[in-house]
Amino acid sequence: MRAGIMRFGENKVQEARGKIETLGRGIWHLIGHLQTNKAKDAVRLFDSIDSVDRNELAREIAHRAEVIGKIQNVLLQVNIAGESTKFGCAPDAARGLAEEINALPRLSLRGLMAIAPYSPEPEKSRPHFAGLRELRDKLQMETGLQLPVLSMGMSGDFAVAIEEGSTSVRIGTALFGERLTLKQRRPEDPSFTEST
């Protein structure tokens, strides 16, 4: 925050608690996959949940937002490349899911999010970023929804993402280096495991 950064992203709900307490409020985005059973904490902690990819999750987030009287900003995560290892709805399911999210009174659908397939060559991400932008534009035209946010691009390909219309990039690795596993953080403690 001393460097002027006020917008933060976190992959895991459980890791956000301590970081929010340490860094202060700022504006926090959940950018990782969200299990339905963690929606209660996610709604309490995050200003935006950027990884909504199914009806069941959207309804649970809306319910939890209703309980605490909050309007929850969300992004619809799209599996733009159809990768079996990534979360997100299929592009051809995006319109139906966007309309269902929009119908939930406690949710504010702000845009779309996608993660391009990893490649050491940023240009290989361009067709995926262009595809998400085109999908967003089509959804806006066909539904009348206003979807100003395009969250796409990470440390290795954010420049290409911005060229293709990204309004939000995720550059944690560029700022902080590679993410360490829990065991890498404390290798001297043999009892320190993933469940700690």
**Which has the higher per-residue pLDDT, 12 or 185?**
12
- The pLDDT tens digits of the residues spanning 128-171 come to 999 999 999 999 999 999 999 999 998 888 899 999 999 998 87
Contact 32, 53 (CB under 8 A): no
Q: Does the pLDDT of residue 25 top 80, yes or no?
A: no
- The pLDDT tens digits of the residues spanning 100-138 come to 999 999 999 999 999 999 999 999 999 999 999 999 999
pLDDT of residue 5: 67
pLDDT band (50, 70, 90) for residue 183: low
pLDDT band (50, 70, 90) for residue 20: confident
Mean pLDDT, range 34-54, rounded to an integer: 96
The domain ranges of the chain are 7-185
Burial of 34-72, coded b for 16+ CB within 10 Å and e otherwise, reads beeebbbbbbebbebbbbbbbeebbbbbbebbbeeeeeb
pLDDT of residue 93: 97
Q: Does the pLDDT of residue 33 top 60, yes or no?
A: yes
pLDDT of residue 190: 44
Does domain 7-185 bear CATH number 3.20.20.10?
Answer: yes
pLDDT band (50, 70, 90) for residue 1: very low
